[in-house]
Amino acid sequence: MRQKVPILVISCVFLIGAAIVVNAAEIAQTNGVRPIAKLTDLFDDPVVVRGKGFEVKRSQVEDAFTAYAANLAARGQSLSEDHRPLREAQLLDRLIITRILNNRAIDQDKLRARELSGKFIAEARKAVASEEMFRRQLKAAGMSQEAFTNRVMEQAVAEAVIERELKPKVTITDAQVEEFYQKGADLLVKEMEAGVERMGSNPKTTIGDLAEARKRVEDIKRLNLEKLQQPEKVRASHILIATRDRETEEELKPEVKKQKLQLAQKLLTRARGGEDFAKLVKEFSDDKETARDGGDYVFSRSDPFLPEFKSAAFSLGTNQISDLVTTMYGYHIIKLHERIPAKKLDFSKVAPEIKEALTQQALQSKMPDYFAEMKKEAAIEILDPKYKTTLPQGTVDSLRPPS
């Protein structure tokens, strides 16, 4: 049975977008941090950067930093004060780029952005238990639904502009896709191989250094090829005798659970005695997802199924029936129908995904020059002295929260 995986953090990360954490206040309380007033609540909110058609205020940099720090906290990480100036500067750079991209947007971009943002917001709402929980998390972060929607839309517009202006300049050939499929060679591998060639022609390079560099290249190729592997899977069905109330999900009383156990034991005897397992599933199973048609589950070891269920299923031989397996849901009788061996995914199925992944790599490599040219055209004026020496020139993708 599939486990429900709780989603604790809602974030929005587009190509250059900052993550939006909507439970920042709860995270702060968990870490023993008391919410404090912003500096901009006590003093003026000066403009720190100005460009053609836009400006960025100090409060916007502070909000971006708070969201970034909260994302780190949600992952059990933190940022030292020594690194704060650089991170703030990088976040400011991201805000500048986002503003410039939004100013470059045409009607086509805005239409595409509505599609992207609508899809993201719908997924964000589904990721929490209820609409009320969604509103509560937004409120905890001090963000209205309108502000959340506007920020998502702003990032979506930025992505749409990049998609229109920069993506057509990227060409990925069929040969490149084929080489990735066969050898695991992507654009990063190509760059690293060129670096190894340069090392080899340098008389100061040691044999050990060269061997280590080659190993790193081969490791990346291997990891890329592993992504093309479909893991071993099993196809199994089961009879569930639930020990929780179907409506309330509360545990049944001990005497009722005892009766359920006795029923499960009798059904196990009947199943092992040769009765039609699919018929027993339809008649007795409390798993309504499969009981209606005697359907099967197909899953790998990494899929989000109950661990006891997975362990039992992978320990069985074909057509073998398990002992009673106890989980939080009740008693299971599992029958393994088929083992599906691990195999490499068919080229025709993964080729489009490989091409898109290589396209995104190529886009990332072009972004530093693209952003630098945009900022030059926008006549950026840095008004806060502390950012004049720290504002980066390259891509801001490194600011995505660690995975």
* Structure confidence by residue, pLDDT tens digits, 319-355: 999 999 999 999 999 999 999 999 999 999 999 999 9
- pLDDT surpasses 90 at 293: no
pLDDT tens by residue, 388-397:
776 665 444 4
Question: 60, 145, 165: which is closest to 103 by C-alpha?
Answer: 165
The reported pLDDT for the residue numbered 82 is: 87
The reported pLDDT for the residue numbered 22 is: 35
- pLDDT surpasses 50 at 8: no
Which residues fall within 8 angstroms of residue 10, CB to CB, at 6 or more apart? Answer: 20, 21, 22, 23, 124, 127, 128, 134, 137
Structural domains in the chain, CATH included, are 24-165 (1.10.4030.10), 171-229+346-357 (no CATH), 233-343 (3.10.50.40)
Rg (CA), the chain: 27
Mean pLDDT of 297-312: 91
pLDDT tens by residue, 204-227:
999 999 999 999 999 999 999 999
151 confidence band (pLDDT: 50, 70, 90): confident
The reported pLDDT for the residue numbered 391 is: 66
249 confidence band (pLDDT: 50, 70, 90): confident
- pLDDT surpasses 70 at 398: no
Which residues fall within 8 angstroms of residue 380, CB to CB, at 6 or more apart? Answer: 49, 50, 51, 96
Average pLDDT of every residue of the chain: 84
70 confidence band (pLDDT: 50, 70, 90): confident
- pLDDT surpasses 80 at 283: yes
Mean pLDDT of 117-129: 82
Amino acid at 222: R
Backbone angles phi, psi at 27, to 5 degrees: -65, -45
CB 193 within 8 A of CB 214: no
The reported pLDDT for the residue numbered 74 is: 66
Tell me which DSSP letter residue 228 carries.
Answer: T
- pLDDT surpasses 50 at 3: no
pLDDT tens by residue, 12-22:
333 333 333 33
Q: pLDDT > 90: what percent of the chain?
A: 62
The reported pLDDT for the residue numbered 138 is: 75
Question: 294, 293, 239, 235: which is closest to 265 by C-alpha?
Answer: 239
pLDDT tens by residue, 135-144:
877 776 667 8
CA distance 310 to 293: 21
Nearest 5°: the CA angle 285, 291, 294 is 115
pLDDT tens by residue, 159-182:
999 999 999 999 999 999 999 999
The reported pLDDT for the residue numbered 44 is: 78
Range of lowest pLDDT (2-11, 224-233, 374-383): 2-11
- pLDDT surpasses 50 at 80: yes
pLDDT tens by residue, 178-206:
999 999 999 999 999 999 999 999 999 99
Amino acid at 255: E
